[in-house]
């Protein structure tokens, strides 16, 4: 593995197009003069031990299509100058110590940006209401930060989104119906926030997401009964996490329609009644969490014929 600092003399390689030094043991700061390598289209410095701030000079690299600075020790705010990179398709800044607000200048990249990764940082405050202007987004991962406020309704305008991860933040208010406008959505993770629902209308909307494979709603403030409409979710749904909310009533029999489920977490709620009718329909279940509820009766024999219930489940 490479060790030491990134030498500033790299700038002498004026024709450099690709610089990939990822997965090494590099230390020190990112040299600001990398911003003079004007032909560079690819910058990969992930999984090192780089410190300091992201150099604003990177905003000079107008040909850059890929930036990966994941898994370092970078700090400070995300420089507004990155919003000048109108060819940028992939921006991966997760797993650092970045702070401040969501960089509003990133919204200038509406025509190019496809992958935005900001997870595991210390970013906060509310998201810009027009974040959905990034209509080319395919993946948006912002988990494990300190974002707050409502989830912007404009996200429903980014109709190419396939993966959304907003978990482990401080989002509040009702889960919006806008996710039902995303026909390509495969994974939606809203776990570990303070989200609520009054009428479960968002779940009805999600029935339009025919490719949805994973839905994470655990560790929120969802109340009342799970509606029968849960059975209208995608027949490709493999993971459904509803652990540690304040759900009550019986588990709707329609959940047995979700024949592709292999992970189902309903633990630590106030669910009641028996579990006789629906579990036997879920032949592919590998992980089942029903702990700490008010279920009554026996575990139906149909469960033991189709899967094991003694494996741990997170979510």
pLDDT of residue 272: 96
Q: Alpha-carbon distance 245 to 11, whole Å? A: 54
CA 104 to chain CA centroid, Å, is 19
Q: Where are the alpha helices (DSSP H) in the chain?
A: 201-206, 301-306
Q: Alpha-carbon distance 110 to 98, whole Å? A: 22
Reading the block at residue 44, the tokens are: 């990969």
Q: Is there a contact between 247 and 221 (Cβ–Cβ < 8 Å)?
A: no
Q: How far apart are the first and last CA of the chain?
A: 36
At 193-242, the pLDDT tens digits run 999 998 999 999 999 999 999 999 999 999 999 999 999 999 999 999 99
Q: Which of 175, 178, 187 is nearest to 158 (CA)?
A: 178
Reading the block at residue 250, the tokens are: 């019986």
At 98-156, the pLDDT tens digits run 999 999 999 999 999 999 999 999 999 999 999 999 999 999 999 999 999 999 999 99
Pairing between β-strand 90-92 and β-strand 115-117 as defined by DSSP bridges: parallel
Q: How confident is the model at residue 311 (pLDDT cuts 50, 70, 90)?
A: very low
The fold of 1-126 is 3.80.10
Q: State pTM to two decimals.
A: 0.94
The count of other CB atoms within 10 Å of the CB of residue 34 is 21
Q: Alpha-carbon distance 296 to 275, whole Å? A: 8
Question: How deeply is 184 buried, as exposed, middle or buried, from its count of CB atoms within 10 A (0-12, 13-18, 19+)?
Answer: middle
Q: Alpha-carbon distance 118 to 99, whole Å? A: 10
**Of all residues in the chain, what percent carry a pLDDT higher than 90?**
90
**Average pLDDT over every residue of 72-84:** 97
Reading the block at residue 9, the tokens are: 């003399």
Where do we find the tokens 């709620």? 269
At 264-293, the pLDDT tens digits run 999 999 999 998 878 878 989 999 999 999
> What element of type H or E holds 140?
strand 139-141
Sketch the domain layout of the chain as residue ranges.
1-126
Q: Alpha-carbon distance 3 to 48, whole Å? A: 9
pLDDT of residue 304: 57
C-alpha dihedral (62, 65, 71, 75), degrees to nearest 10: 20
Q: Alpha-carbon distance 168 to 146, whole Å? A: 8
Q: Alpha-carbon distance 285 to 57, whole Å? A: 51
Q: Specify the DSSP class assigned to residue 220.
A: S
Q: Alpha-carbon distance 238 to 140, whole Å? A: 20
């Amino acid at each position: 593995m490479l060790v030491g600092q990134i030498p500033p003399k790299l700038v002498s390689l004026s024709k450099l197009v690709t610089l990939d030094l990822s997965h090494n043991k590099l230390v020190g700061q990112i040299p600001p003069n990398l911003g003079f390598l004007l032909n560079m289209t690819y910058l990969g410095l992930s999984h090192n031990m780089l410190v300091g701030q992201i150099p604003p000079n990177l905003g000079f690299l107008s040909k850059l299509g890929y930036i990966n600075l994941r898994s370092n020790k970078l700090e400070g705010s995300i420089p507004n100058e990155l919003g000048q990179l109108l060819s940028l398709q992939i921006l991966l800044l997760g797993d650092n110590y970045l702070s401040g607000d969501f960089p509003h200048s990133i919204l200038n990249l509406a025509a190019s940006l496809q992958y935005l990764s900001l997870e595991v940082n210390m970013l906060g405050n509310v998201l810009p209401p027009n974040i959905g202007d990034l209509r080319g987004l395919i993946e948006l991962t912002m988990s494990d930060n300190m974002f707050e406020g409502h989830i912007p309704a404009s996200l429903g305008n980014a109709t190419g989104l396939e993966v959304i991860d907003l978990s482990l933040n401080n989002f509040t208010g009702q889960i919006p119906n806008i996710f039902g406008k995303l026909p390509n959505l495969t994974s939606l993770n809203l776990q570990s926030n303070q989200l609520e629902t009054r009428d479960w209308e968002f779940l009805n909307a999600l029935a339009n997401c025919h490719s949805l494979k994973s839905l994470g709603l655990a560790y929120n403030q969802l109340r009342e009964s799970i509606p029968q409409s849960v059975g209208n979710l995608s027949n490709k749904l493999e993971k459904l996490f509803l652990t540690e909310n304040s759900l009550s009533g019986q588990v709707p029999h329609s959940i047995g329609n979700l024949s592709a489920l292999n992970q189902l977490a309903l633990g630590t709620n106030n669910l009641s009644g028996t579990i006789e009718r629906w579990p036997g329909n879920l032949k592919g279940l590998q992980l089942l969490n029903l702990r700490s509820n008010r279920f009554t009766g026996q575990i139906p024999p149909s469960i033991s014929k189709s899967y094991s219930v003694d494996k741990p489940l997170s979510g």
